[in-house]
Structure 1
C-alpha cells in the first residue's frame, strides 16, 4: 500500500488555511487532522507552506509544443507533464472544430494515453469546442467545418470515447440546438454556450434547457447592449450559469474580470487558460487545429487575419493574475481553479477539494502564490 503523510503545512479547507496534516493511501485522501499517526507512511514536510487542491483546466488546446488536435498519446503526456509544472493536476483536451476523421483520431489518441503510465497531470476527458457554432462569431474556428446540429455525430463521438466527452461548446442560435441540449446532457456531456451571436431570449432558453456555462465569457460572443442584452447579458444575469474567464489581461480587461466576479459571485466563475501549443514556449509561429498562429509578446493571433486565437496562459499564472486584478487574497480565488470547474463537470466527488475520499491531488504554493510542487494521486509530479 502506498501512503503519504503531508505535515507541517497550512492546508486549504473550507476556503481558509488551517495547520493540518493530510494522509493519502493509494492516491486517495483518507484522513485530515491536526495530528495523524502513520509511522509507515512516506513523510512529506511542507515546511510551513500552503497545500491547496490541484488546479483543473477544463478548456485548453495544448502546451509545450503540442496541439490537442494533432497530438498522439506521447503528445498528450507531454502536455500533462507541462501542466503539472504549472500546478494543474487535471485537464480536458479541447478539440477545436475539425473533420470527423481528425476528431475521432483525437479521441483514439486519448484512449491510448489512458493506457500508458503517467508522470504528469491527469487528462480527465475531452471538450468539444464545436462544430455547432455561429460562423459570425467563429473566432479561430474553421468556417468550412462548422455545421448545423447533428446529435448522431456526437453520439458516435461519445461511443468512441467510451463516455469520456465531458463538455461541449455550442451556439444556441444554431437551428434546433436549444431543443437538443437535453439530448447532449443525456449523453453525459455538460453544455456551454459560446461563439455566439444569440439574442437574449435564445440564450435564456438554452440555459432553461440545461446549458450550464458560457465559453470564454466576453470573447467570440455578441456583447451586451442596453437595449439588447444578448448572450453576454443572459449569462451574467443567471445564477445557474458558470462563466469561463481567461485571465491573461488580453481577453478581458482587469476591470471586466472584477465586474464578472461582482455579478456572478466567486462560486460561479471558472478560470480557464484556452492555451495553445505555444504555452511555455517563446514567441514564434505555431498551429491551432488547422490554423497557422503567430505569437508576439505572448499574444496568439491567426496569421491569416490577426484574430486572437487562444492564449499562452497557464493556470499558475492565472491565479497570480486574478490576485493582481482583484486585490483579493488567494484563499478567495482558489475555487475558480479547483472546486468550481469540478462542480461544473460533476467531478466534485473526485477532485477540486482537499477532502476525505477524493484524489490526493495537491499544489504547494510559495509565499508569492507561485507553484513549488505538484502531486497527482499522492505522487510528486513536479
Structure 2
C-alpha cells in the first residue's frame, strides 16, 4: 500500500526540505515530495521529530559480524549484507584483499553469481583493493601477492564477476599503471589510487590516464610535505577527483579530515569504513586476510608491526562524527555517506539519493544524527 512519510527534515539530492511528506509507492519506490501545506490523502507514517535520509552507501568494506568477503562463502557475505542494515547502509561494494589470481577469481564468481539474492543491504558491485600495490605502504595487505597491473587478469576477474567489479585500486608507480588505467577505466569501472609511495607527478599521470579517486586518503600513501606533496598532496589538490575518508578518529585526525573536506567539499569526499570482520563484534583476536590482528579501543591493529589494519567503524557513526567534530552540517555528512560514494563509484543510478522512481531505501535519524530505523524498498528492516 502507498503511504506518506511525515518528517522534520528530508535530505533530498539538491535541497534539504523542512517538514512535508514523502510518498512511498506500493511498489517500494519513492514517489513525490509534498510541502507541509499540501498534506496528501492516504496513510501517514509520522516521524515528526526525526529526519529522513537516503540509505548510506559503503563502497569500501571487507567484513562484518565475524565474516570476511575473502572467506568466499555466499551465506557469510549475505550475513554481512543483513548486518549492514544496523549501520544504516542499504547499498555496498564487497571489498577484496590482495590474494592469488585464482582466489580473487573464485570470490568474483561467488558474488557475481549470487549478488541479486542478498536479503539485506544491496550489493551494487565489487571493489578490488589490490593486488597492484607497493610494499612500503602495504598496510594490512599481504605483499607476497603484489604484482604490476595486468589487464588480462582484470578482464578474467570481471568476466567471473559478471561485470560487477565497479572499482579497483592500484599504486600509480607500478610499471604499466597508466596503460592499465587507460584500458580499464570506463563508465562502468573506477580506478582509484592507494597503498602507494608515488610522487605527486606519478599520481597525476595516472589521474590524467583516467583514474578518478584516492583510496582512504592519507592512509597507506606517501605523505604531504611543503616540498614534496606526494600522494597525499595529490589527493588534496587535484581538481574533480574523489577521496575516500575513514572518519573513526583513529585513521585520520579530525583536523586533517577538516582540511581535506574543506579543500574538496562534500561532493568529492566519500566516507567509507574499511571495516573488517570484527565490525559489530567484541574486542579480541581476529584475522584479516591471512594476517593476525587484534581489536581494542575501537581500533584494529596488526599483531606483527602494530599498524592499523582496517577498522570496526560503522558508516552511521562516520556521518555522526563529522557533525560532532563540527566539520560538516548534517546535510553535508549525509551527502558524504550516501550520494558522493554512489557518484564516485558510478552507481548513483541505483542508490545514494531520495529520488522519484528509485527504490525507497532510506534511514531515519534523530536530531543528534543517531540512526533510528533502516528501510529497504519502503519496508522497515531494522529498528534501533
1:77 and 1:113 in contact (8 A); partners too: no
Q: What is the distance in 2 between the residues matched to 1:123 and 1:249?
A: 27
Listed as ranges, the gaps of 5+ residues in structure 2 are none
Partner of 2:9: 10
Q: What is the distance in 2 between the residues matched to 1:302 and 1:9?
A: 44
Asked if residue 188 in structure 1 is aligned to residue 188 in structure 2, the reply is yes
Alpha-carbon offset, residue 32 of structure 1:
1.8
The aligned length equals 378
Alpha-carbon offset, residue 127 of structure 1:
0.3
Asked if residue 138 in structure 1 is aligned to residue 151 in structure 2, the reply is no
Please tell me the root mean square deviation across aligned C-alpha atoms, in Å: 1.7
Alpha-carbon offset, residue 36 of structure 1:
6.0
1:217 and 1:243 in contact (8 A); partners too: yes
- Scaled by the length of structure 2, the TM-score of the pair is 0.94
Partner of 2:93: 92
Q: What is the distance in 2 between the residues matched to 1:375 and 1:152?
A: 40
Q: What is the distance in 2 between the residues matched to 1:103 and 1:77?
A: 18
Alpha-carbon offset, residue 341 of structure 1:
0.9
Q: What is the distance in 1 between the residues matched to 2:232 and 2:306?
A: 23
User: Greater CA deviation, 106-115 or 193-202?
Assistant: 106-115
Partner of 2:56: 55
Q: What is the distance in 1 between the residues matched to 2:312 and 2:4?
A: 35
Partner of 1:114: 115
Q: What is the distance in 1 between the residues matched to 2:7 and 2:368?
A: 19
Q: What is the distance in 2 between the residues matched to 1:199 and 1:336?
A: 27
1:222-243 CA-partner distances (Å, limit 9, x unpaired): 0012111111111211121111
User: Greater CA deviation, 347-356 or 219-228?
Assistant: 347-356
Asked if residue 178 in structure 1 is aligned to residue 174 in structure 2, the reply is no
Q: What is the distance in 2 between the residues matched to 1:237 and 1:360?
A: 36
Q: What is the distance in 2 between the residues matched to 1:327 and 1:115?
A: 37
SS of the aligned residue for 2:167 comes to strand
SS of the aligned residue for 2:191 comes to strand
Q: What is the distance in 1 between the residues matched to 2:247 and 2:80?
A: 20
Partner of 1:373: 373
Asked if residue 288 in structure 1 is aligned to residue 280 in structure 2, the reply is no
Q: How does 1:235-274 map to 2 (within 5 A)?
A: 235-274=235-274
Partner of 1:103: 104
Partner of 1:277: 277
1:253-305 CA-partner distances (Å, limit 9, x unpaired): 11100111121122111110000011111110111112111112121011222
Alpha-carbon offset, residue 30 of structure 1:
2.4
SS of the aligned residue for 2:21 comes to strand
Alpha-carbon offset, residue 171 of structure 1:
0.4
Query: Residues 60, 8 of structure 1: CA spacing in aligned structure 2 closer, same or farther, 3 A cutoff?
Result: closer
Partner of 1:70: 71
Q: What is the distance in 1 between the residues matched to 2:8 and 2:206?
A: 45
Listed as ranges, the gaps of 5+ residues in structure 1 are none
